[in-house]
Structure 1
Amino acid sequence: MRAVRTRRLGAVDRAEGTCVAARGAKTEDYGARQLSVLSGLDAVRKRPGMYIGTTDSRGLMHCLWEIIDNSVDEALAGHGDHIEITLHADGSVTVSDTGRGIPVDIEPKTGLTGVEVVMTKLHAGGKFGGGSYAAVGGLHGVGASVVNALSARLDVEVTRGSKVHRMSFKRGAPGRFDDSGGVLSPDNPFTLFESASELEIIGKAKRGVTGTRIRYWSDPQIFLKDAHFTYDTLVDRARQTAFLVPGLGITIHDERGVERDETGEIITSRTEEFRYSGGISEFVEHLAHDDAVTDVWRLAGSGTFTETVPVLDEDGHMVSTAVPREVGVDIAVRWGKGYDTRVKSFVNIIATPKGGTHMTGFEQSLLKTVRRSVDQNSRRLKVGKDKLEKDDVLAGLTAVVTVRLAEPQFEGQTKEVLGTSAVRQIVARTVEQELGALLNSSKRQEKQQVNLLLEKVVAEMKSRISARTHKENQRRKTALESSSLPAKLYDCRKTDLDRSELFIVEGDSAMGTAKAARDSEHQALFPIRGKILNVQKASVGDMLANAECSALIQVIGAGAGRSFDLESARYGKVIIMTDADVDGAHIRTLLLTLFFRYMRPLVEAGRVFAAVPPLHRVEIVHRGKANEVVYTYSEAELYTLLKRLDRTKKAYKEPIQRYKGLGEMDADQLAETTMEPGMRSLRRVTMGDAEAAERTFGLLMGSEVAPRKQFIVSGAAMLDAERIDA
C-alpha cells in the first residue's frame, strides 16, 4: 500500500515539476504536532473575512450593524424604545440602548459573567431558543464577540439592578485600561486579568433604568487604512430600521471631521433622529417617487411549518427534535406610473439584499396572481394570446417584503440570503390570498385602481413585445435604405457609432438653417414641432400613442422603458438643440423628461447633450484688417466683453445682434457656434444622483401642482424678469 502511494505522489510531482525527494522528506515530518488549533477569538482575527465579509469599509460597517442589531433585537422583544449611535472624532463608535442590558450574573457552565460570555465566546447568547427572543436578526451568537475580537479596544457598560457595570477588552481579551490621563484610547496602558475577570461597578442608576452602552475602536491591524464609517449608509440603515420597528427612535451623532475651538470642544456636529409610526406602509411611501397608480396595499398573513433542529436536553446534550415554527408575513406594495422597480426584503428587520426564499415566493405568486386577473379581463384589455412576464408586473412596483420567524437559516454570517425553504410557500400563499382579494374587490376605489394597474401591466407587456419585434427587425440603416424610419428624419450617411450624432431641432425655421450647417456624413437631424407630451404625467400607453414621442423612440432605435437596449442605439450622441429662450428651455426639459423616464441608460452612459447656442453676436471693428466676431452666451458675459472693449477703446458695431432663436442665424453662424465639433460647446446631461433627479422631475413635471407652486413662489425673487418673453 505504501509503494502504491509513493508512485502516485511521484506521478503528480513530475507533472507539477516539483522535487519528489524533498517532498518525501517533508511528508515523513508531517504529523499531528504540525496541526494548528485556534482557540477562542483567535480564529476570528486569523480569518476575519469569514465573519464580516471584507476588511474594508464594508466590513467595518458590518461590525457596527452587529452591535446595532443586538439593540434592535431588544426593541423587537418589547424592551427599550431608543438607540443612540455616536461616531467619535477619534474613529471610535458608541452604541447605547434602553433595553434590558446584557446579563451581569454568573453563567453556570463557564463560571463567567454574562457580559464576558457574550463578548468573548463564539456561538453564545440568548438567541438559541432559550425563550429570551422570538424573532431576531442576531442568530449565530458571534456578532458581539466578533466585533470584540476585531477591536483594538472595546468598553461595555451595562445598567441593571440600579447599578452601572463596566468591563473593557483589548483585541478580545478582558482586562483594565489605565485612563488616568483623562483620554480614552486603545493605546493606554492595559493590564490583563490573570486569575479571574472582574466586572466593575462604576456607579448607581435610577430604579427601573436599564440598558447597554458599547464603545469600540476598530483594530488597524485588521482593517485597511482607508476603511471608515460611511455616514450616509448609516443614516439609510437607521431610517430603514425605524420604519421596520414602529415606535423605535434612533439618533445618530457624527462628531468626525468637525471644527473644534482652542479647548478642544466641539462646535459643529451632525445629528439626525428617526422615529416612525406608520411601519412599512410609510416606508413604501418614502421609497416611491413617481405618481401613484394604486394606494399602498398591505398584504399580511402567517403560516406554520415543522423544522428538525438540534435542541439541548436536560442533560446538556444536543438532540434532534421536530420544532414547530410560525412565520409572520407582512408586505406593502404600491404601483406607480414609472417603470423602475424598488423592492426591499427583510427577515426579522435584517436586510436581505440578495433575496432568498421569501423573495422567490413573493415574485412567483405576484406574477401568478396578476396574470390570472389579466386573463379574467383579457377581452376588455385586448390581451390576445400574449402572456405577462415578471418584468411586466414589476414595472413601477415599490414594495417592502418582511417575514419574521425564529431561527431563520441564512447563507453565511452576513445574512444576505434567506435559506429557510418553507418560507417560500407561506409567502406565496399570503400574496395569492391577499392580493387576489384586492384584485377582485368590489369596492369602487379599489376597483378603479385595479383597472389602472391591469392596464399598466398590459401596456408594459405590449411595449416589451413591440420593442423586441423592433429590435429583431431594425438594423442600422439610413432613411434611404429603410422606410420604417420617420420621413422627416434627415439621417446621416455614415454608420460609425462613435462619430454619429442626432440633433433634435426645435421648429421648421431652425431646421432649414441646420440642414445647410450640418455635416451630412455624421450628423442627423430630427425636427420637432412645438412642445412634446409631458411623459411625467402620461401613462405608457399615452406616450407610445403620441406621434412625436413614438417617432423619436423609433429614430433612436433602442426601444423604451425596461426593454431599452443601449447597444442598439443608432447614434453615439443625442443633442437637443433648442432656442435660447424660456420656450426652448421648456422643450428641452420635456425632452429630458422623456429620456429620463424611458431611455435612462442613454443618459447614464453620458450620450445625451444639450447644445449651447449663443445669445449675442458682437462684431469688433479693427482698422486696417478684418473685423473680429465674438459670440457671448449670457448677459453677464456680454457685459464683461463690452466693459473690456470700452476700457481698451475698441469699437464695435451697433446694434449688437441678439439671437432669440436658432432660425435667426445663417448656416455658417450656426455651424461655427453650435454644430461644428471643433468650435461648439455642449452640455452633457449626467445622472449624478438618479433619485434626486427623479424627485426634481417629479416636482417640475409631475401632476402634483401644490409643491410646484410653492417652488415657483419661493424662487420668484431670483428670477430675471427681462428673460421672460412676454
Structure 2
Amino acid sequence: MPATAAKKTATSKSATEYTAHHLQVLEGLEAVRKRPGMYIGSTDSRGLMHCLWEIIDNAVDEALGGHCDRVEVVLFADGSVEVRDNGRGVPVDIEPRTGLTGVELVYTRLHAGGKFGGGSYTASGGLHGVGASVVNALSARLDVEVDRGGKTYAMSFRRGEPGVFSDVAGAQGRKDPDHEFTPYVRTSDLEVVGKAKRGVTGTRVRYWADRQIFLKDAGLDLEGLLGRVRQTSFLVPGLTIVVRDERGEEPTEEVFLHDGGISEFCEYLAPDAPVTDVWRLQGTGTFTETVPVLDAQGHMTPTEVERECGVDVAVRWGTGYDTTVRSFVNIIATPKGGTHLAGFDQALLKVLRRQVEANARRLKAGSDKLDKDDALAGLTAVVTVRLAEPQFEGQTKEVLGTAAVRQIVAKVVESELSALLTSTKRPYKQQAATLLEKVVAEMKSRISARMHKETQRRKTALESSSLPAKLADCRSSDPERTELFIVEGDSALGTAKLARSSDHQALLPIRGKILNVQKASVTDMLGNAECAAIIQVIGAGSGRTFDLESARYGKVIIMTDADVDGAHIRTLLLTLFFRYMRPLVEAGRVYAAVPPLHRIEVVNPGSKANEVIYTYSEAEMRRTMASLAKRGKKTKPLQRYKGLGEMDADQLAETTMDPGHRTLRKVTLGDIESAGGVFELLMGGEVGPRKDFIIDSAGALDRERIDA
C-alpha cells in the first residue's frame, strides 16, 4: 500500500475511534492542559511540587478522618512518583448519575470527589475536587491501584484519558508513558488485577509528569518535600510518612512521625532561647453560610448551613526579635495568611495592649501604645483551623477567604491568652511578667530607633551633633569609603587618633568589657552606655528596626589588644552585632583588626637602615628568628606588644590601620542557626552546657596561646 494511502487510512481510523465518549471525559481536563497555571500556579518546579502535594494531601485527608496511619512517597529514577496509603481506598463502585466508577470519576472529572459535604470528610485539605483530576490531566501517564473488599483494582490514564497500556496494569517490569496505549471507546473498565489480604485497604497512585506541559529544567525539590512532609507529620500526630528517593546511586529513606502535634512543631521552629513555654490556645466556634447543595433531583439549591470551626494555636515567645508564624487550614499551609491569621494578629495585639495598660506603672510603659511588630518580636506561632469546605482564593490555597473565621479565631485567642496572662499560677505568672517586660522593651526600642533615625542623621558643620562626645568622627560621609574603628580604652584611642586617616576613618573608644547581651534583656542592653553608644554611632537602629541603608559607615572594625581580654571584648561585641545588628554582619561589613604580637628589628651593617619585621603569632616569631639566625643576621631585643597602646602611631598605622598594609578578618555567617547555637552555648544564661563544653575541649587547648 502506498505511504499516502496508509496515512489516509490511519487518519480515518483515528477519526472514527475519536468518539463522543472521549469528548465527555476530556472537555474539562483540556481546560487544565491549556491553562495549567490557573490550577497549579506555574509549570516550573513549583508546579511539579504542587501536583505531588495534591496527591499526598488526598492520602493525608484519609489520616485526618482516622482511616489511615501510614503514607509512603517514592521518587523513582525515571522521574515518576508514587504515593501509597493504607486508607479506605478510592471507591470502585458505579456512581449512579454518571455511570462511571469512583476511580474514573475522581481522576477524570473536575469538581468530583468526596469533599463536598457528603459526609465522607468533615475537614480536609482537598475541597475543590480538582486535585487528582488536574494531576491526571498534566501527566503523560497515571496508574491507580486500589485495595478494597479483598481485591486489587487498577486503571491507567494517558493525559487524563482512561485506557490500557501495553505493559498491562499490575504486570511486573518497567512501566513508562511510551508504551503503546489503547483508549477505552464505549465504556471504561476498572480491572481486577489481584487479590488483597483480608482487611487490607488502600490506594497507590503513580504518575509521570507530562514534559509537554512542564519546563525542561523543572524538577522535584527533595529538601522542599522533606520540609513539608515533616510539617505535615507535626500537624497530624500519629501519622507515619515515609519518603524514599531512588534517583541517586544509593536509595535514601526518611521516616517522619511526631506525636506532640503543633506544640512540638512550635518548639521545632523556634530559633531562640525561650521566654515563655509553648502555650496552647484551643476552642471552637460556629457560623452559618449559604452554600449551593445538590438536592435529590440533581438541582443546586441555596441552603443555609451551620459550620463548626475548630481553632488550635501554639504560641511561644523567645529572647530574639525574629518572628516565625505558620498558618494552616486543615492540613493545608497558607503562606500568605488569610482571615484566620488576621484574627490571630488582631487578638494578640488587643490582649497585650490591654495587659500593658493594666500594668503600665510597673512596666514604666508611659502613654505609648504597643505596635503589632512589638507583640510579634521573638514570637513563634503555629495557627491552625479546621472546618468543612473552607473558601480559598484560588486552587493553590495560599490565602483563606472564609470571613467568619476571623472573629472565631480572634475570640478564642483573646479568651485563652487573657486567661494565661492573668493566671495566678506561679509558672504562668512569672512568664507573663517576663513577656510583658519584653514587649514593652521592644516598644521602647522601636520608638528610640525612630527618634535616632529622625534626629541623628549626619550633621553639617553649622549644626550641632548629638553623637557621643568620645567619638572621633571622620570628615567623609560616603559609606562606601568610611570606616568605624571600635577601640579598647582611651590609651589605644590616643595612638589610633595619630595613626588614622581622619578623612575616612572614625574612632569610638569603649571602656573595658561591654554587657553580655545574650543574657541581658533588650531594656538592659539599651540602658548600657557602651551598647547604646555603638548603636547610636552606627545610626541604623537595632533589632527588627535595623535599617542597613542608614548605616553611617561602610566597615565596622573591632580593634582590640591581641590577648585574652581583647578576645573576650571582641566576642562580646560580636554578640551585640549578631543579636541586634545582624544585617550588618550578613552584608560582610563587620571586621576584626589583626594587630601584630612582635616587632623584630634586624640590624643591617654600615649606614643601611635597619629592617623591621612584624609577626602575628608565637610560631611565626620563632620561625622568623630561626631563619634570621641561620642567615647570620643580628637583631635588637625582641619587642612584644601587650596592647595597642604600646605601639607608636606610625607602627599602628603601618600594621593595623593603613588599608595598603593591614590585615582584616571579615566576620561571616555561614549558617545562622549554627551560629545562633554557638552564641547561646558560649554566651547564654545556661552554665551547665558551657561547663561541659570547656571540660570536653580542654584536651585540645594549646597552652602556648594563653597570654598569662
TM-score (normalised: structure 1) = 0.87
Q: Secondary structure at the match of 2:27?
A: coil
* Superposed counterparts of 1:358-397, under 5 Å: 358-397=340-379
Q: Distance in 1 between matches of 2:385 and 2:504?
A: 56
Q: Distance in 2 between matches of 1:620 and 1:177?
A: 87
For 2:7, the equivalent position in structure 1 comes to none
Q: Distance in 2 between matches of 1:105 and 1:202?
A: 16
Does the CA contact (< 8 Å) of 2:292 and 2:303 recur in 1? yes
Q: Distance in 2 between matches of 1:155 and 1:621?
A: 87
Q: How far 1:569 sits from its partner (Å)? A: 1.8
Q: How far 1:373 sits from its partner (Å)? A: 1.4
Q: Distance in 2 between matches of 1:690 and 1:515?
A: 35
Q: How far 1:203 sits from its partner (Å)? A: 2.8
Q: Distance in 1 between matches of 2:81 and 2:603?
A: 68
Q: Distance in 1 between matches of 2:532 and 2:315?
A: 30
- Calculate the aligned-residue CA RMSD, in Å: 2.8
For 2:332, the equivalent position in structure 1 comes to 350
Q: Secondary structure at the match of 2:28?
A: coil
For 1:29, the equivalent position in structure 2 comes to none
Q: Secondary structure at the match of 2:308?
A: strand
| Closer/same/farther in 2, CA of residues 183 and 520 from structure 1, 3 Å limit | same
The code of the aligned residue for 1:124 comes to A
For 1:225, the equivalent position in structure 2 comes to 216
Q: How far 1:358 sits from its partner (Å)? A: 0.7
Q: How far 1:642 sits from its partner (Å)? A: 8.1
Q: Secondary structure at the match of 2:192?
A: strand
Query: After superposition, what is the alpha-carbon deviation per residue over 1:13-35, rounded to whole angstroms, capped at 9, x for unaligned?
Result: xxxxxxxxxxxxxxxxxxxxxxx
User: Is 1:161 aligned to residue 178 of structure 2?
Assistant: no
Q: How far 1:353 sits from its partner (Å)? A: 1.0
For 2:72, the equivalent position in structure 1 comes to 84
TM-score (normalised: structure 2) = 0.89
For 1:69, the equivalent position in structure 2 comes to 57
For 1:176, the equivalent position in structure 2 comes to 164
Q: Distance in 1 between matches of 2:208 and 2:136?
A: 9
Does the CA contact (< 8 Å) of 1:478 and 1:493 recur in 2? no
Does the CA contact (< 8 Å) of 2:315 and 2:380 recur in 1? yes
* Superposed counterparts of 1:413-492, under 5 Å: 413-477=395-459, 482-492=464-474
For 2:103, the equivalent position in structure 1 comes to 115
For 1:316, the equivalent position in structure 2 comes to 298
Does the CA contact (< 8 Å) of 2:598 and 2:615 recur in 1? yes
Q: How far 1:384 sits from its partner (Å)? A: 2.4
User: Is 1:235 aligned to residue 217 of structure 2?
Assistant: no
Greater Cα offset, 40-49 or 175-184: 175-184
For 1:287, the equivalent position in structure 2 comes to 269
Q: Distance in 2 between matches of 1:549 and 1:370?
A: 28
User: Is 1:193 aligned to residue 181 of structure 2?
Assistant: no
Query: After superposition, what is the alpha-carbon deviation per residue over 1:595-645, rounded to whole angstroms, capped at 9, x for unaligned?
Result: 1211222223332222333455667788897776665556777788789x5
Q: Distance in 1 between matches of 2:460 and 2:632?
A: 50
Q: Could you tell me which runs of 5 or more consecutive residues in structure 2 were left unpaired when the two chains were aligned.
A: 1-24
1:540 to 522, 525, 548: 522
1:583 to 551, 565, 588: 565
Q: Distance in 2 between matches of 1:146 and 1:475?
A: 57
Does the CA contact (< 8 Å) of 2:26 and 2:160 recur in 1? no
The code of the aligned residue for 2:113 comes to G
User: Is 1:250 aligned to residue 241 of structure 2?
Assistant: yes
| Closer/same/farther in 2, CA of residues 228 and 479 from structure 1, 3 Å limit | farther
Q: How far 1:499 sits from its partner (Å)? A: 0.7
Q: How far 1:504 sits from its partner (Å)? A: 1.1
1:52 to 29, 40, 49: 40
The code of the aligned residue for 1:253 comes to R
Greater Cα offset, 403-412 or 436-445: 436-445
Q: How far 1:481 sits from its partner (Å)? A: 5.5
User: Is 1:561 aligned to residue 561 of structure 2?
Assistant: no
Q: Distance in 1 between matches of 2:182 and 2:603?
A: 86
Does the CA contact (< 8 Å) of 1:618 and 1:652 recur in 2? no
Q: How far 1:316 sits from its partner (Å)? A: 1.2
The code of the aligned residue for 1:56 comes to D
For 1:34, the equivalent position in structure 2 comes to none
Q: Distance in 1 between matches of 2:275 and 2:464?
A: 38
Greater Cα offset, 670-679 or 224-233: 670-679
Q: Secondary structure at the match of 2:218?
A: coil
The code of the aligned residue for 1:185 comes to D
Q: How far 1:489 sits from its partner (Å)? A: 1.3
Does the CA contact (< 8 Å) of 1:238 and 1:250 recur in 2? yes
Does the CA contact (< 8 Å) of 2:136 and 2:159 recur in 1? yes
The code of the aligned residue for 2:316 comes to R
Q: Distance in 1 between matches of 2:193 and 2:632?
A: 83
Q: Distance in 2 between matches of 1:195 and 1:157?
A: 22
Q: Distance in 1 between matches of 2:632 and 2:331?
A: 72
Q: Secondary structure at the match of 1:534?
A: coil
Q: How far 1:47 sits from its partner (Å)? A: 1.1
2:661 to 668, 679, 684: 679
Q: Distance in 1 between matches of 2:374 and 2:530?
A: 24
Q: Distance in 2 between matches of 1:621 and 1:251?
A: 73
Does the CA contact (< 8 Å) of 2:26 and 2:161 recur in 1? no
Query: After superposition, what is the alpha-carbon deviation per residue over 1:179-206, rounded to whole angstroms, capped at 9, x for unaligned?
Result: 4893333333333333433333333222
For 1:670, the equivalent position in structure 2 comes to 652
Give the share of equivalent positions with the same residue, in percent: 74
Does the CA contact (< 8 Å) of 1:479 and 1:491 recur in 2? no
Query: After superposition, what is the alpha-carbon deviation per residue over 1:686-713, rounded to whole angstroms, capped at 9, x for unaligned?
Result: 3444333323322222222333344444
For 1:136, the equivalent position in structure 2 comes to 124
The code of the aligned residue for 1:455 comes to E
Q: Secondary structure at the match of 1:555?
A: helix
Q: How far 1:59 sits from its partner (Å)? A: 1.4
Q: How far 1:655 sits from its partner (Å)? A: 7.2
For 1:39, the equivalent position in structure 2 comes to 27
User: Is 1:723 aligned to residue 693 of structure 2?
Assistant: no
2:672 to 690, 699, 712: 690
| Closer/same/farther in 2, CA of residues 181 and 243 from structure 1, 3 Å limit | closer
Q: Distance in 1 between matches of 2:143 and 2:475?
A: 72
Q: How far 1:456 sits from its partner (Å)? A: 1.5
Q: How far 1:374 sits from its partner (Å)? A: 1.5
Greater Cα offset, 100-109 or 196-205: 196-205
The code of the aligned residue for 2:115 comes to K
Q: Distance in 2 between matches of 1:484 and 1:712?
A: 43
The code of the aligned residue for 1:415 comes to K
Q: Distance in 1 between matches of 2:569 and 2:31?
A: 63
Does the CA contact (< 8 Å) of 2:291 and 2:304 recur in 1? yes
Does the CA contact (< 8 Å) of 2:603 and 2:636 recur in 1? no
For 2:85, the equivalent position in structure 1 comes to 97
| Closer/same/farther in 2, CA of residues 629 and 312 from structure 1, 3 Å limit | farther
Does the CA contact (< 8 Å) of 1:485 and 1:554 recur in 2? yes
For 1:341, the equivalent position in structure 2 comes to 323
For 1:147, the equivalent position in structure 2 comes to 135
Greater Cα offset, 241-250 or 629-638: 629-638
Q: Distance in 2 between matches of 1:398 and 1:116?
A: 44
Q: How far 1:372 sits from its partner (Å)? A: 1.2
| Closer/same/farther in 2, CA of residues 428 and 312 from structure 1, 3 Å limit | same
Greater Cα offset, 83-92 or 616-625: 616-625
For 1:529, the equivalent position in structure 2 comes to 511
| Closer/same/farther in 2, CA of residues 506 and 269 from structure 1, 3 Å limit | farther
For 1:401, the equivalent position in structure 2 comes to 383
Q: How far 1:162 sits from its partner (Å)? A: 2.3
Q: How far 1:517 sits from its partner (Å)? A: 2.0
Q: Distance in 1 between matches of 2:650 and 2:657?
A: 10
| Closer/same/farther in 2, CA of residues 195 and 552 from structure 1, 3 Å limit | same
